[in-house]
Amino acid sequence: MKIKISVFLITLLFVSSFLSCGIISNDEIRNDQIETGVLEEYNNLMKASKNFTSVKKFDNYLLKWANKRDIKVSYDNYENVIMSKAPAAGYENGNSINIQTSIGLTDMDERCLSIAMSLFLIENAKENNFMRIIFTNNDKGDFSGAKGLNSRYLFADYQINLDWSYDKTKDLPEFTVINGSAGTAISQMSQPLQYVDSNYSKAYEIAIKDLNGGDSGVISDRQPNPIKIIGDLLASCKSSGILFELGSFNGGSSPGTYPTNASITLVINDNDVNKFTKKVENAQNKFKDTYGDIEEDYTYSITEINPLDQVLKLENTDSIVSLLYTLIDGVYLRDEEKKETLATSNIGKISTLNNEFKLIVCGRSVEKDGLNQLKDAYTIIAALSDMNYSLLSETPIWEAKDSNELLNAVTALGKDKYGIEPETLRSFTETENAYFIQNKYLINILSIKINTDNYVTQTQLLFDIIKEKKSAAS
């Protein structure tokens, strides 16, 4: 990603010196005009962003930009900015359209490209239906702007979200359209802990640290979860008759991310020490063989420590081991015919602090049935392990619709006019569209993944979309 951005910035600096000011006057906007125009906006944004110490200052930049060009603009209490443009003569009855992208103070290299495209689009559109450019506040990653946006702005025939693609997955096709995204169910399994005196003297810490981690909405067939890996090690020890007592088990930071670390302390029966250390050595080698090529900075260590005076009661240890052995982690449901993942589960955090065991797991699914199956499975597994279960939070599913008129229009234009047929996917990361689609009047909505390779073509395609006539069925 950094290489691509560096190339983009070099191109930006080179092209910017040849820019002319003002609105492009040609009836047909050429690719070179799009490139230079978007790069100019991008350059201006990047320079100004050095002074963006708050989202409000970002808003002020956008408000001033619109006022300078006599573009209608407003803002709201959620720090969203909404620009609009009346339809051109002869386009009064065409499909109204919202172009939406997010604003915030992080990842400016990537974020500013979709913003620059949006600004260029509304300034230079001359053959257009009614259009809005909506900038929603997502500075903290909680979609506060999308959640708070007044529904009156969502009365549109079409809505397109522009989103940067390289920070989501490394393997997206040249032109990707998102039509649907997963909902999430964050669940907690918990149990009060009791401590007793230890019966054994040999104590160890086992730790897996410095993994790559990342958003658990980015699916990988080779994603190590250190919590699950250590849990499986404990289950293997128990099934092999190794006597141990658990002192602590902690790891992970949030339910929606892959854990980067996990560690346990435990004591081992003196007669089982050799058997135990050999089992850990085998687990270390297995981890290296499976993940060593993708986890370059990891450590998987076993360290002898001072004896533990207190350890978890046997019933607590048995419940924890049972839970981790049976709990789902990874792909849960998959459509093999379409080769599409439908539901996943990620053990995001575990803790034995403050005399209470807590495990938090994030279930994701692009279908309601899949999410319900996950919640049912969590409830059953928690009960079988004598754990308390609670559903902490849920986020909505953006359900894909094959009858999406906007998707059909984008696909046809991409294929017939630009020779690039978009690949349509469903996203496992949470999206702003999942909140927008709760408005029952907003039917035709999608997300276009942009990057420095394809933004010129996609901007040209957006110019085509904003002048789309209503179909006979509309």
pLDDT, tens digit, for every residue of 351-370?
A: 999 999 999 999 999 999 99
Tell me the pLDDT band of 474, cut-offs 50, 70 and 90.
Answer: low
Q: Which helix (H) or strand (E) holds 346?
A: strand 340-351
Q: What is the reported pTM?
A: 0.85
Tokens of 321: 């081991």
In angstroms, the CA 277 to CA 77 distance is: 59
In angstroms, the CA 343 to CA 219 distance is: 10
Q: Is it the case that residue 83 has pLDDT exceeding 90? A: yes
Q: Are 77 and 59 in contact (CB under 8 A)?
A: no
Q: What is the pLDDT of residue 1?
A: 37
* Residue 140 neighbours by CB under 8 Å, 6+ apart: 104
* Residue 247 neighbours by CB under 8 Å, 6+ apart: 198, 203, 264, 265, 266, 267, 308, 310, 311, 312
Q: Is it the case that residue 28 has pLDDT exceeding 60? A: yes
Q: What is the pLDDT of residue 25?
A: 41
* Residue 290: closest CA among 344, 379, 220: 220
Q: What's the full length of the chain, in residues?
A: 474
Tell me the pLDDT band of 30, cut-offs 50, 70 and 90.
Answer: confident
Tell me the pLDDT band of 143, cut-offs 50, 70 and 90.
Answer: very high
Lowest mean pLDDT among 2-16, 21-35, 432-446: 2-16
Q: Enter the DSSP assignment of 154.
A: G
* Residue 250: closest CA among 94, 360, 367: 360
Q: Domain 2-181+399-465 maps to which CATH number in 3.40.630.10, 3.40.50.300, 3.40.1360.10, 3.40.50.10140?
A: 3.40.630.10
Tell me the pLDDT band of 402, cut-offs 50, 70 and 90.
Answer: confident
Q: What is the pLDDT of residue 470?
A: 80
How does the average pLDDT of the chain come out, rounded? 91
Average pLDDT over residues 67-88: 98
Q: What is the pLDDT of residue 401?
A: 83
Q: Which CATH class is domain 184-395?
A: alpha beta
Q: What is the pLDDT of residue 173?
A: 60
Give the domain ranges of the chain: 2-181+399-465, 184-395
Q: What is the pLDDT of residue 16?
A: 42
